[in-house]
Amino acid sequence: MAMVKSDAYGHSMTRVAQLLEGSGCSVFGVAEVAEGVDLRDSGCRGDIFIFLGFYPPDVDYFFSHNLTPVVFTFEDLVRISEAQNERGRKLPVFLKFDCGMSRLGFSPNEAVEVFSRCRKLSIEPVGIMSHFPCSDNRHSKNSQHVADLFYRIDCQNGEKLPLVRSICNSGGLLYQPYSHGDMVRIGISLYGYYPDGDKGREKKDEEGLRPAMSCVSRIIQVKTVAAGSGISYGHTYITDRETKIAVLPIGYSDGVLRTMSNRAEVLIRGQRVPIRGRICMNMCMADISAIENASVGDEVVILGSQGRETIDADQIGEWSGTISYEVLCALGNNNPREFLA
């Protein structure tokens, strides 16, 4: 299953799904019903799973748009049963169990009751799901415990049910081979990143996952300021020498998080240069004193490669105190996008 929720982690849900479907992928995962509707309306023919439940009025969309609900409450089982009875048509339903995430899902201890309730409601579950909380740590013993708990669920009461079993996220796929089951759900690794960040690659020069997204801007003004000049709001950076500054038309409303102020770097003419002062809503400033002839219109790489240098979402995550997932969503969802595939 290709996870294309949250607009495919900022990469465009519909474009990513079209590309993957053309390459043979036939199963897609989204968070909300609205995403599933948009994906189906865009022409997606594959199975589309909805992971965050549904509001009662939205149950119609499962039928009209051929969507698959992932159910984690008894109340939603009742709603689906009522909807099936009204339409004389059954839905393919997956059941979500919480095996250690302390998030969505029935308790494994409720499995007998869950399956019994499904029989009484004439719901025929076709699969069960759970989620690893620590699979990004390849050495964690937690994942083995969670997997053992999950794979015992369909044996409750001595009954072996013919269910599709799915627990693996990207970390599970890469680091927990004993737990793959019938269907893995690929998220961050689909977009070129390891779930444990830069540690995911064994050797720095090893060919591995390749990031799909880059983010570029342009210099809109170059100016020279004297030593002792404060840069941006609050003057959190004071120049200690005459400094050449490039003003860039990208800021925290565009996904360049304010927490990167005075920490981040960008690429200009193949060189790393530091961001100086606080990042503004629509702008930030870079110190280009070390670059000869930098000028208005020069390309600025926020995320990606230029020359021999590369800045990836893991490094941006370190500067901003977050992870690659948030970086990709922030940059991808807040800027115009050009698709090269």
Same domain, residue pair 10 and 59: yes
pLDDT at 159 over 70: no
Task: Give the model confidence (pLDDT) of 292-301 as tens digits.
Answer: 999 999 999 9
User: Same domain, yes or no, for 174 and 294?
Assistant: no
Q: Is residue 338 part of a domain?
A: no
Answer whether residue 282 is part of any domain.
Answer: yes
> Looking at the predicted structure, is the pLDDT value of residue 158 above 70?
no
* Average pLDDT estimate for 175-199: 93
Catalytic status, residue 237 = no
3-state class (DSSP) for residue 141: coil
In a domain, 226, yes or no: yes
Which pLDDT tens digit goes with each residue over 86-103?
Answer: 999 999 999 999 999 999
- Does 186 map to a domain? yes
189 plus 271 within the same structural domain:
no
How many angstroms separate the CA atoms of 84 and 91, rounded?
7
Mean pLDDT, residues 193-198: 91
Q: Is 5 among the residues known to form the active site?
A: yes
pLDDT of residue 199: 74
- If asked whether residues 184 and 107 sit together in one domain, one would say yes
Tell me which residue of 28, 79, 308 sits closest to 185, measured CA to CA.
Answer: 28
Same domain, 36 and 156: yes
Backbone angles phi, psi at 320, to 5 degrees: -105, 0
Domain that holds residue 75: 2-200
Last residue of a domain, one of 200, 233, 257: 200
Given 193, 233, 237, 252, the catalytic residue: 233
pLDDT-based confidence at 198, cuts 50/70/90? confident
Same domain, 44 and 188: yes
Out of 144, 168, 200, a domain closes at 200
Please report the pLDDT score of residue 161 as a whole number.
74
The answer on pLDDT for 208 being more than 90 is no
User: Do both 60 and 158 map to the same domain?
Assistant: yes
Does residue 34 sit in the same domain as residue 180? yes
pLDDT for position 156: 62
pLDDT bucket at 206, cuts 50 / 70 / 90: low
Identify whether 169 is part of a domain. yes
Residue range 116-156, pLDDT digits in tens: 999 999 999 999 999 999 999 988 899 999 999 999 997 66
pLDDT (0 to 100) of residue 290? 96
Q: Report if residue 209 sits inside a domain.
A: no
The one catalytic residue among 5, 96, 193, 325: 5
What is the domain-level CATH number for residue 304?
2.40.37.10
Q: Are residues 251 and 192 part of one domain?
A: no
Q: Distance between CA 235 and CA 328 in Å, rounded? A: 29
Q: What CATH number is attached to the domain comprising 126?
A: 3.20.20.10
Give domain status of residue 339, yes or no. no
The residue out of 157, 174, 200 marking a domain boundary is 200
Q: Which residues contact 158 (CB under 8 A, 6 or more apart)?
A: none
Whether 20 is in a domain gets the answer yes
Which pLDDT score is estimated for 140? 86
142 and 29, same structural domain?
A: yes
Hey, which residues does 286 pair with through a beta bridge?
Answer: 246, 275
Instruction: Say if residues 4 and 330 touch (Cβ distance below 8 Å).
Output: no
Pairwise pLDDT comparison (157 vs 71), residue with the higher score: 71
Region 258-269: what's the mean pLDDT? 98
- 227 and 184 in a single domain? The answer is no
Give the confidence band of 202 by pLDDT, cuts at 50, 70, 90.
low
Separation between Cα atoms, residue 301 and residue 214, nearest integer Å: 8
How many domains, the chain? 2
Average pLDDT, rounded, for the chain: 95
Are residues 309 and 191 part of one domain? no
